[in-house]
Amino acid sequence: MLPRLMMILSLLGLACIVQARGQSPASNLLTGTCEKLVIGGRDASATCANELVNGVQGRRTTFEFRSSDGTVVSFSGTGAQQERQEEFGVDASQPVSVLILTSKGPDGAVTRDTLMTVGSCRFPPSEAGTSTVACTADTQRGRFEGVFVTKASAPKP
């Protein structure tokens, strides 16, 4: 439980590391299993990469899910840590106000759309030694979801 709690606190605490807007972004690459990816209401779980990028720039924290076709779904919020919501079985929650959708067209051109949204990234209880990030967002282009499970590694002596 302690390694899982430490991982959750470090993910949510990244927002405190980078305070100035002019500073370069900080990011962490997490490896594990992408269990679910929904893009605009379409199930894209079969193409979801088993890596999750957690980034912080200024006061925003982002969880970035990637698809093998080049699509990237970024759930972005202010990084404000929310209270534990035991009645819902959630350890912590981060509000999501923006979803950034990056995709490649048939001609190879990259399109990046910023969509206003209502959603959250939650960190529900998981099995011992694992952590879960579960993001949902409703936009004018439909529902976006991502669920990623990572295994906590033992601390190095």
Residues facing residue 135 across a β-bridge: 121, 146
Backbone angles phi, psi at 23, to 5 degrees: -75, 155
Q: Between these two residues, 62 and 25, which has the higher pLDDT value? A: 62
Question: What is the secondary structure of 9-71 as a DSSP string?
Answer: HHHHHHHHH--STTSPPEEEEEEEEEEEEEETTEE-GGGEEEEEEEEEETTEEEEEEEETTS-
Query: What is the mean predicted confidence (pLDDT) over 107-136?
Result: 88
pLDDT band at 84; cut points 50, 70, 90: low
pLDDT band at 33; cut points 50, 70, 90: very high
Q: d(Cα 18, Cα 117) in Å, to the nearest integer?
A: 24
pLDDT band at 4; cut points 50, 70, 90: very low
> What is the distance, to the nearest Å, from the Cα of residue 77 to the centroid of all Cα atoms in its chain?
10
